[in-house]
Structure 1
Amino acid sequence: MAMTDTAAEGFQERQALLRLMAWLSPAFPVGGFSYSAGLESAVTEGHLRDGDALEAWLGVVLSDGGLRNDAILLCEAHRLQQDGQPLEDLLSLAAALAGSAERYGEITRLGEAFVKAAAAWPHPVIRHLTGTVTYSVAVGAVAAAHGVKRADAVAAFLHAQVSHYVSVAIRLGVIGQTRGLAIVAAAETPILAAAAELCRLSLDDLGSATIIADTLSLRHEIQYSRLFQS
């Protein structure tokens, strides 16, 4: 029996949701567990000593730092893909915005691994994501190609990033799992608010005011002992 238009639309939306869940799952083979985006240095140098400090730190990078920029780049990639526009210039810009060698390595390795893994869902967009591919741009373009709504993609991406940073803090012994879950739960409202706001912004709105976090990412390159690659 053929599906009605409404049923077909519902199926496609649920299919897009399942794919988004798979792509941003910790089990998706991009190697994200190897990176901390400078968080390890923040812990080592005493900036993050407990859950309250971590929660405040995440709030700042979401509202004024790297997470905000990543979300704007994701939105732009989503728009370009939907409009059938090339991604090369955006990929170059996203790579140039990396604040340190480690950060550059992180976002490009994650991006290239994401594209390779996402090829399990065949789509022509994969052919346009070659060479130096940044993670946020890859997620945005692939999400658009598979019919994932922009706001959903941004919210899921930010949630995955926050959850990852919480996992980093747990592995570094800053917090336990219970406190980590509480931080993830508390992050829902600011993530949803950020997703709604950032989808309306453009590349002109890129910018960061998290100097300490950016500096710590640089300092991690010469840190004597470390668990993470960034």
Structure 2
Amino acid sequence: MTTPTNPIRMTDTGTAEAASGLNLLLCWLSPAFPVGAYAYSHGLEWAVEAGDVRDEASLEDWLACLLAEGIGRSDAILLAACHRAAAAGVEDAFAAANDLALALAPSAELRLETAQQGRSFLDAVLASWPAPRLDALAGRIGEVAYPAALGLAAACHGVAIRAAVEGYLTARAGNLVSAAIRLAPIGQTAGQRVLARLSARIGLLAELVLACDLGDVGGATFRADLGSLRHETQYTRLFRS
């Protein structure tokens, strides 16, 4: 067997010394990463029961609205703010952005969704991809929103802010498409068509939010927000939100 002439050197923890930003994002935002994303639908379960999402076209409309006018845009701005604060070492700015991310959750279920995934994400990164600055900052963080946790980890590992934002939005859209497939209004191929058509929107949104700050955070997805409240008492439920 031929020995590679330039093998990747590994650290004592088994991780590549020079893992690229893309490599990290693919791992962190993979369905295999233990954040429990599969357990949440962000109110989509109620939208399916109410008939708002019933086929491929209505799912695409619902997700496009969430991305442009709801969780997508707001979370992307918050992630970017947390990334900048962590990269600059300004803990107060990071804490303010994280507190805002938690406070903006419109229902108890959606607060659980972002806080549980945020904590699970941060714990998994600390255990698998330790970094001195991340370890030091994480030790002073209590409850953490999911986009804040990703922004922090990405900054401490040198992942570019644009890549982190676009990766996060793509992963969120993919998780909701997966939820829709399990709820049965669409099949797997239709789900991939929805994601393909949303990809251009996601790229544009990632570019636009880089020029935003916390004063630009806001949303107008009122029916989705009300749906998350109604999901709390929905008779049959597969998901936690």
Same-fold call, TM cutoff 0.5: yes
Is the Cα contact below 8 Å between 2:60 and 2:194 reproduced in 1?
A: yes
- 2:130 aligned with 1:122: yes
Structure 1 runs of 4+ aligned residues shifted over 6 Å read none
Counterpart CA distance in 2 for 1:75 and 1:202 is: 8
CA offsets 1:8-49 (integer angstroms, 9 cap, x no match): xxx95x622101110000110011100001110000111101
Please name the residue that 1:7 is paired with.
none
Is the Cα contact below 8 Å between 1:115 and 1:126 reproduced in 2?
A: no
Is the Cα contact below 8 Å between 2:97 and 2:214 reproduced in 1?
A: no
State the 1:128 CA deviation. 2.2
State the 1:131 CA deviation. 1.1
Normalised by the size of structure 2, how large is the TM-score?
A: 0.89
Counterpart CA distance in 2 for 1:168 and 1:185 is: 17
1:138 to 149, 159, 162: 149
Counterpart CA distance in 1 for 2:167 and 2:34 is: 17
% identical equivalent positions: 43
Secondary structure at the aligned position of 2:47 is classed as helix
Counterparts in 2 of 1:1-230, with a 5 A limit?
12=18, 15-86=20-91, 87-119=94-126, 120-123=128-131, 124-129=133-138, 130-230=141-241
Name the Cα RMSD after superposition.
Answer: 1.5
Secondary structure at the aligned position of 2:117 is classed as helix
Secondary structure at the aligned position of 1:114 is classed as helix
Is the Cα contact below 8 Å between 2:29 and 2:167 reproduced in 1?
A: yes
Where does structure 1 lack aligned partners over 5 or more consecutive residues? 3-10
Counterpart CA distance in 1 for 2:221 and 2:103 is: 17
In the alignment of these two chains, the number of paired residues is 221
Is the Cα contact below 8 Å between 1:103 and 1:217 reproduced in 2?
A: yes
Which one-letter code corresponds to 1:159 in the other structure?
T
Which one-letter code corresponds to 2:103 in the other structure?
A
Where does structure 2 lack aligned partners over 5 or more consecutive residues? 7-16
Is the Cα contact below 8 Å between 2:154 and 2:164 reproduced in 1?
A: yes
